[in-house]
Amino acid sequence: MKLRVSAHREAAIPMGELNGAEYIGINEVPSPRANNAKKVSLLPLIFLIFYEVSGGPFGVEDTVHAAGPLFALLGFLIFPLIWSVPEALITAEMGTMFPENGGYVVWVSSALGPYWGFQQGWMKWLSGVIDNALYPVMFLDYLKSAIPALGGGLPRILAVLALTLVLTYMNYRGLTIVGWVAVSLGILSILPFVVMGLISIPKLKPARWLVADVHNIDWNLYLNTLFWNLNYWDSISTLAGEVHNPKKTLPKALFYAVILVVLSYFFPLLIGTGAVPLERDSWTDGYFSDIAKILGGVWLRCWVQGAAAVSNMGMFVAEMSSDSFQLLGMAERGMLPEFFAKRSPHGTPLIGILFSASGVILLSWLSFQEIVAAENFLYCFGMILEFIAFVWLRIKYPNAPRPFKIPGGTIGAVLLCIPPAILIGVVLAFSSIKVMVVSLVAVAIGLVLQPCLKFIEKKRWLKFSISSHLPDITSHGPLLH
């Protein structure tokens, strides 16, 4: 059960500052969850965020293919400052301000109203399910060199179904299990690259890191790959209600996860581009296993392939946790029918897991590039709403309780959002017409779906309710005053 610790008894958070206001009640009212459902502590939370965002360097190879070693390395140093750090800071502030399942849906609802809160939930859930459909694909792509039958046809279809069912069952059994599994898988994913780095030291040639061809850059592939590998920091907010003492644990976990993610990308790229002669066309999904063979032999390649496989498992599990708890949080807020709030005996969102798993199965037939592009487009729309909500809450409710608060006041909040907002515009501008049309159709469905659900609620065809343990987030509610 949640710890009942008032804000004035908590120590200051190193990443930010307490605003001196008494924090009202979200964390001090026990939620109606299963008694045996345990809270997630700091270390599992760090690795859950790691798997929400990264999972290791698998999938970053296309940055070298698109722009060469220098721009790939610079991208994973500069891009986190423009995008990852602002998004993580906003998640820390808003996630501790509203530490309940639903995360960014609650943020947008409190700032812009329930209609836009629903749109946020729809776009983020759909982008999350699209993103999760990528991991069975990547999982099998790394295994097909050892098991060629997994390259296509009926064996691949059956493998996707079996993999989805096994990982879905892990989510069903409980988030605490998922958290410690994420820790174990994270160590397994990173360890072979530590060994690869030690082996590569005599073969490193720093001049290879400086290779750049500004006239031969695929900007669309480069930006989409960077964006996909460094977003989703806000996804952990949909699990805030499952976190032990989120007011302190969430900001700390985000801080350490940012460092872990950046290092897990940068150093494997440093090894791969510095120790092996450059062949840009070879830098595609799965190329790290080939580099491992060149540097250490077949045994190291097998280790990297195994790490890639378990990494994709971890990313799948973490993403599904976020997606399913988001649906539960929306149901507790009355945005979805009440049956979405149903929990399993393990305290997990049963209906949310089933819906998310079904979406993954339906989308697993898409290609890697199509999944990444469609997910990025929808994710950008959701992030625009988050930035607006973040700034608007700072303007309208400057004195609302914020256990973790980004320094700089309202002007600082606006300035923090400008670089990532510009980046969103660039990513959207490079989207293909096909991806743009499909994504806009998905957005339009959400615009119509919310009024349809309200009509169903009015006719009482399905039951909707707002959980009594949640604080009021309307303009007249006590939380925002």
Q: Is there a contact between 388 and 111 (Cβ–Cβ < 8 Å)?
A: yes
The residue with tokens 């160590």 is 187
Which residue did the predictor score with more confidence, 207 or 177? 207
Q: pTM (2 decimals)? A: 0.83
Which residue did the predictor score with more confidence, 13 or 452? 452
pLDDT digit string (tens) for 248-264? 899 999 999 999 999 99
Q: Is there a contact between 51 and 59 (Cβ–Cβ < 8 Å)?
A: no
Domains of the chain: 42-459 (1.20.1740.10)
Provide, rounded to the nearest whole percent, the portion of the chain with pLDDT above 70: 87
Calculate the CA dihedral of residues 383, 386, 391, 395 and round it to 10 degrees. 160
Tell me what the mean pLDDT of segment 331-349 comes to: 91
Which of 228-242, 337-351, 451-465 is modeled with the greatest confidence?
451-465
Tell me what the mean pLDDT of segment 433-446 comes to: 88
Taking the C-alpha atoms of residue 295 and residue 300, their distance in angstroms, rounded to an integer, is: 8
Taking the C-alpha atoms of residue 297 and residue 191, their distance in angstroms, rounded to an integer, is: 16
Question: Which of 161, 189, 155, 467 shows the shortest CA–CA distance to 318?
Answer: 189
Helix (H, G, I), strand (E, B) or coil at 274: helix
Taking the C-alpha atoms of residue 5 and residue 17, their distance in angstroms, rounded to an integer, is: 18
Residue 276 has pLDDT above 50, yes or no: yes
Helix (H, G, I), strand (E, B) or coil at 114: helix
The per-residue pLDDT for 480 is: 54
Taking the C-alpha atoms of residue 212 and residue 356, their distance in angstroms, rounded to an integer, is: 41
Residue 321 has pLDDT above 80, yes or no: yes
Residue 291 has pLDDT above 80, yes or no: yes
* Backbone torsions φ then ψ of 365, nearest 5 degrees: -80, -10
* Strand segments (E) across 393-452: none
- Comparing 198-202, 240-244, 375-379, the range with the smallest average pLDDT is 240-244
- pLDDT grade, residue 27 (50/70/90)? very low
**Under 8 Å CB-to-CB from 187, ≥6 apart: which residues?**
none
Q: Is there a contact between 65 and 221 (Cβ–Cβ < 8 Å)?
A: yes
The per-residue pLDDT for 369 is: 67
- Comparing 143-157, 275-289, 324-338, 428-442, the range with the smallest average pLDDT is 143-157
